[in-house]
Amino acid sequence: MKIKEVTDEHILFDNGNTITFEHDRDCCECNYADFGTLTKNNVNYGFNFNEELIFEFIDGMGFRFGSKDSNDVIHWIFIACYSDQNGYYSNDIDILYNGNQVLNGICEEHIY
């Protein structure tokens, strides 16, 4: 499956599978995965991923997803995750694959 569309809300693959994010907001924070940085110029954008995606969270930075090729080499794409807030609220985020949570991690805080 190849990446078909990227928006601020999701990554859509050509077979209909999606990667999205979710955060139960406390009040005044905005926690999000920055899908908008993923463009056709990114490494591995055009890779033919298999449906068995691998996900890893890098706390304080974001997450990466990928899949193995025929030589068992994993082709990764990194997505940064941010938390815009005043430092009082939660900075966690859930990453969903086809609506099912696959990761939970801590976003990079941007204090305003």
**Residue 111's pLDDT is what?**
85
**Residue 43's pLDDT is what?**
93
* Residue ranges in the chain whose pLDDT is less than 50: none
Q: What percent of the chain has pLDDT over 70?
A: 100
Residue keyed to tokens 């939970």: 104
Rounded to a whole number of angstroms, the distance between the first and last alpha carbons of the chain is 39
State the pTM of this model: 0.94
State how far the alpha carbon of 14 is from the alpha carbons of 42, 48, 65, 87, in Å.
18, 10, 16, 39
State how far the alpha carbon of 84 is from the alpha carbons of 8, 23, 29, 88, 110, in Å.
15, 13, 6, 11, 5
**Residue 2's pLDDT is what?**
98
Beta 108-111 vs 74-85: how paired, if at all? parallel
Per residue in 8-39, pLDDT tens?
999 999 999 999 999 988 888 999 999 999 99
Q: List all residues 6 or more positions away from 96 whose beta carbon is below 8 Å from its beta carbon.
A: 18, 19, 20, 21, 22, 102
∠ CA(59), CA(62), CA(65), 5° rounding?
115
**Residue 87's pLDDT is what?**
82
- For the chain, which residues make up each domain, given as ranges? 3-111
